[in-house]
Amino acid sequence: MAGLRIHLSTLMVRASALAMTSTLMAGSALAQEREAFFGETHVHTGWSFDAYIFGNTKTSPADAYKYAKGQTIKHPLGYDIKIDTPLDWMGVTDHSEYVGTVSLANTPGSDIAKLPIAQKLIVHSPADIQRIYLWLGGTIVDKKPIEELISPEVAGSVWKQNVGMADQANEPGKFTAFCSYEWTSTPNNRNMHRNVFFKDCAKVPLTPFSSIDSSDPSDLWNWMDGQRKEGNELLAISHNANLSDGHMFPTDVDEKGRPIDAAWAASRDRNERLTEIKQIKGASETHPTLSPNDEFANFEILTYLLGDPSGRFPQVPGSYIRQALKDGLAMNEARDYNPYKTGFVGGSDSHNTGVPYRQNNFYGGHGHADGEMKQRMAGFLFAGLDTRLENPAGLTGLWAEENTRASLFDAMQRKETFATSGPHIKVRLFGGADVAAAVDQADWVKAAYASGVPMGGDLPPLGDGKAPSFVVWALKDPTSGNLDRIQIVKGWSKNGQSFEKIFDVTWAGNRTPDQFTGVVPPIGSTVNIADASYTNTIGSVELKGTWTDPEFDPSLDAFYYARTLEIPTPRWTTIQAKEVGVAPPDNVPATIQERAWTSPIWYTPTKEQRTTVKGTTVADLQAQGATALDDKALNDLVVGKTTWVRNTVTGDVFSIAWTTSGQRLIGNVNGEIPKPSEVGDVFHGGSLGAGTAYAIKDGAIVTTLGNMPYEATVYKVGDKYFAARSNEFGFANYEVVPTPQALDPLDQQKSPF
Amino acid sequence: MSRHRLQQILSEPLLHFFVVGVLVFGGYRFFNPEPEQAVDPQRIELTENDVQQLAISWLAQGRPQPSPDELRSLVDQKVTEEILSREAVALGLDRDDQIIKRRLAQKMDFLVADLAALEEPTEAQLADWYSKNSDRFALPPHASFRHLYFSPDKRGDGARGDATAALAVLAGKSADALQAQTLADPFMLRNFYGDSTPAQTAKEFGPAFAETLYGLKPGAWQGPVQSGYGWHLVWVESIEPGRVPLYEEVKPDVKAAWLDARYQEVKRTALEEMRSRYTVVAVPLDDVDLTNLNSQDAANAAQEPVSQ
């Protein structure tokens, strides 16, 4: 057994070994030694203009690094805050719109140093500081401003100081401080924000590209391309897709209104390697509307638009990562490009310089607005946002060889990343044809690296007749709850429709999966809500398992990511309700299951494999002489009638009742059959008897889902009717059929795909 | 203007649009009220220097020379911004605006803080300062230890008892006793830790384990010690106690800390100096009526727009 094998691989030894062998050995050998480094991709200090407004007036990026390393700092309201588990790395991401100051005067060759005024500002002795200060103060009192001080040449100097502080906090091997900033684009209250990370602080530009330059992400990517060409490696992380009003993951047109094309997709893929899946203002994995069959989808859902514009609410489709991953597959199938092969990170978006990661140490994220417990628990409306809906920060794990800027950046670049909801849960995911074989060996990680790909990668060719298998592993945070289960979330696409399904892979205790659904029953709960406590008497310390896709079809695009759940623990609102002496708020759950998400592994069929499947497209129908129905024909076909429709991809047959009052209800929904991307709500509502409005307009039936209109165009070929729906990329997947005699004849099992 | 009315205006999207312009130019205007206002308020003049400055900002972001079209668009943007900010100021939108006030305060903060960054300490200053603050640089203890793991996943509630029983078997045995291999469970991380600080140990095993570990005597199997993963028997090879380092060992850190302290001090004295030029008249705080402030109006008044 491995119990006494002594690993003398301290960091120093490994670092020198790395240096010696790096020229000789392939990446995979080094990869076997990768460790998980936890860090922060998203935090603001008093240098962010809005943080300053929230009362964070005294702290700088240097304080954020101190906090990350474990030092106590002050909350903007004056009380002490301290991190529970110090971090391995951090990038401070203050907003890029900075003010100018005077230090460039002391930099020979800088624009301001060349000005005559600089002579007065240069410091030769400590006494000069007082002299300069009084001189500056005097000019203000006398209302004789120093024009040179307010010119744009100095605008970069705060960024320069920021870089200096990162350099100072950076301790290779111990703690990595990145040079980074936030590009803060919020057109029409839509969160389009990106955090930009640089690999090497020595190469950063004098000033960052800000949202004042452009609020369009493709302009940011163009600028990033230019930087990369100059040898300055960098990447962007999108965040708060959940607050983007459907604009974070478009499928048809970009922010300029131009059709999305291969160049746009390539540019996004090249620059935007990662996306933030959870932070203080909510999770962006998925939404119960989009994933009605995922019983864990309702996790820290936050519905909000920045600035709380009246008369609007955010659109759900286009705002969540799982759907973007699915749409990316469908786009790859239909158009041969995938803009959404994104890895996952977690972050905070704290504006307090310090970051709360734990349910039992939650002090808000916005200075005075949510920093006081009673105000927070009263459901204070912070610019329209109920502070009880906020939650602790997410966290990022990177699998890297060593704790240095270069090594960690490369991990982000290759998407060997995972996100957690806050605890330091460690998770691994490997995929390949034979990767599961070695799982019981003591050095299974080495074997997995050698025979498969880690999270963030693409499955290698599997060989004929082989399905991909996966190894998942998770280790609990020693200061948090035990583990409940590890799941694999699979997405796939066929004929422009994309689907998802969740498989329980390994779990704690002696639970038996449901005979028919395969779902493992809930683990139960040890939470005492009144006492806001729990015990680790259920759940596992460590989980490890293998899984081979039982429904694998080599002709279909697919992705797989692992989701690990902790046992239920009290949410921060339950803990603070006890402290304040009130009942836990009823608009949020009393308990939550902390979790971790690995970046996905993708499967892409070869061109030859792909051609074996092809559905009917609108172009095919037109070639057969189909005519598109106009408004009158659509009216005649559906209004006041019930139509039976067959989804030709899934084989599912369902009914749609169209009322004359403009409501439609989907009936006879088969709960077991995966529903195509973005129509979860319509089907879900159907099984509950809740209708959805529809209208016939410009030759299409328009249904609105989560604030987003969906259009179905109906074509007539001979005496048959086919429909094509938006978001299915040119396929016509629905056929009007006669009323069936039986929906599920016992002798005809529906084929799973 | 009532707080309520102000609040209404603050939530106008149009205002948010103005604010950007006002932030950029309103701030400058605070320092520099004459040139733009004393001259014709309806005239916007861009000198060669102004255009060069636009180009400098463009180039500073690491982009190539702006094309004529790009330059035209920069000028256009600048003019639009200037017009909007002038119109906003003419409407008085900059007055009584908490955002603008705090933005200006932030700028002043930067200005003051910058001065602190300009000073280089002498060697003597640093050494003297270190002698008074050396406890802040104390090095943590380091422990080298190996451990045996008793997993609750495998043993349930029996993990602790099994560890105790194993300890009895291992009493008097060496660190690499062969029996040890058969007594414990494989551990997910490492079995041996060299030169681990309390912070590193706490990160790996949880704080309670770390607290116990540095109190153990080297050279024998001890425990059971509980970690966040279960129970352990621990063999400490050595513990190097914490100590205060020599100045020479930590010179760069001392300098960084000195600059930090200096920064705080300069900020403080600068604020004191500024404050000395003001007369502040505030009502005695004991006389302020703080009851009944939790009304809806009060909540709204405290609400501030978000940029995030």
User: Quick check: A674 pLDDT over 90?
Assistant: no
Q: Residue B210 is part of a domain; what is its CATH number?
A: 3.10.50.40
Cβ-defined contact of A479 to B207 (cutoff 8 Å): yes
Closest Cβ–Cβ partner in B16, B117, B303 for A161: B117
Higher pLDDT, A128 or A11: A128
Number of domains in chain B: 2
CA distance A426 to A559: 21
Q: What is the DSSP string of A568-603?
A: PEE-HHHHHHHHHTSPPPTTS-SEE--EEEEPPEEE
CA distance A418 to A396: 6
Q: Which of A377-381, A576-580, B272-276, B304-308 has the lowest mean pLDDT?
A: B304-308
Domain boundary among B219, B240, B261: B240
Partners of B146 on chain A (C-beta within 8 Å) are: 4, 6
Least Cα separation, residue B287 to chain A (angstroms): 23
CA distance B255 to A593: 45
Closest Cβ–Cβ partner in B20, B32, B106 for A150: B32
Find, in chain B, the residue whose alpha carbon is nearest to that of A206.
B60
At A621, the pLDDT band (50, 70, 90 cuts) reads very high
Does residue B20 share a domain with residue B92?
yes
Domain boundary among B220, B240, B260: B240
B124 domain residue, yes or no: no
CATH homologous superfamily of A40-423: Metal-dependent hydrolases (3.20.20.140)
Closest Cβ–Cβ partner in B28, B32, B102 for A53: B102
Cβ-defined contact of A1 to B308 (cutoff 8 Å): no
User: Quick check: A74 pLDDT over 50?
Assistant: yes
Does residue B106 share a domain with residue B164?
no
Closest Cβ–Cβ partner in B182, B266, B304 for A369: B304
Cβ-defined contact of A6 to B191 (cutoff 8 Å): yes
Quote the pTM value. 0.84
User: Quick check: A29 pLDDT over 80?
Assistant: no
Cβ-defined contact of A146 to B31 (cutoff 8 Å): yes
Q: What per-residue confidence (pLDDT) applies to B294?
A: 60
Q: What per-residue confidence (pLDDT) applies to A51?
A: 79
Does residue B68 share a domain with residue B12?
yes
B83 domain residue, yes or no: yes
Q: What per-residue confidence (pLDDT) applies to A90?
A: 98
Partners of B151 on chain A (C-beta within 8 Å) are: 541-542
Q: What per-residue confidence (pLDDT) applies to B25?
A: 35
Cβ-defined contact of B307 to A223 (cutoff 8 Å): no
Counted across chains A and B, CB pairs separated by less than 8 A come out at 229
Closest Cβ–Cβ partner in A145, A150, A307 for B16: A307
Domain boundary among B60, B92, B110: B110
Partners of A423 on chain B (C-beta within 8 Å) are: none
CA distance A430 to A421: 21
My answer on whether omega of the bond before B224 falls inside 30° of 0, hence cis, is: yes
Q: Which of A95, A212, A113, A205 is nearest to B64 (CA)?
A: A205
Quote the domain boundaries for residue B164: 140-240
Least Cα separation, residue A471 to chain B (angstroms): 15
Partners of B16 on chain A (C-beta within 8 Å) are: 307
B120 domain residue, yes or no: no
pLDDT tens sequence across A225-252:
999 999 999 999 999 999 999 999 999 9
Cβ-defined contact of B192 to A8 (cutoff 8 Å): yes
Least Cα separation, residue B247 to chain A (angstroms): 18
At A114, the pLDDT band (50, 70, 90 cuts) reads low
pLDDT averaged over every residue in chain A: 87
Cβ-defined contact of A307 to B306 (cutoff 8 Å): yes
Closest Cβ–Cβ partner in A145, A208, A477 for B32: A145
CA distance A317 to A242: 9
Q: Each residue's pLDDT tens digit in chain B (308 positions)?
A: 344 544 444 444 333 433 333 333 333 334 343 444 456 778 888 888 778 777 877 777 777 888 999 899 889 988 988 898 888 888 888 887 777 777 777 777 777 766 666 567 889 999 999 999 999 899 999 999 999 999 999 999 999 999 999 999 998 888 887 777 789 999 999 999 999 999 999 999 999 999 999 999 999 999 899 999 999 999 999 999 999 999 999 998 899 888 888 878 877 887 887 788 888 888 888 888 887 766 544 444 444 444 55
Cβ-defined contact of A99 to B184 (cutoff 8 Å): no
Does residue B193 share a domain with residue B102?
no
Q: What per-residue confidence (pLDDT) applies to A138?
A: 56
For helices B13-21 and B68-90, the axis angle rounded to 10 degrees is 110
Q: What per-residue confidence (pLDDT) applies to B274?
A: 79
Q: What are the beta bridge partners of residue A595?
A: A565
User: Quick check: A378 pLDDT over 70?
Assistant: yes
Higher pLDDT, A632 or A133: A632
Cβ burial, residue B65 (10 Å; 0-12/13-18/19+) = exposed
Give me the residue spans of the domains in chain A.
Answer: 40-423, 426-613, 618-737
Cβ-defined contact of B111 to A146 (cutoff 8 Å): no
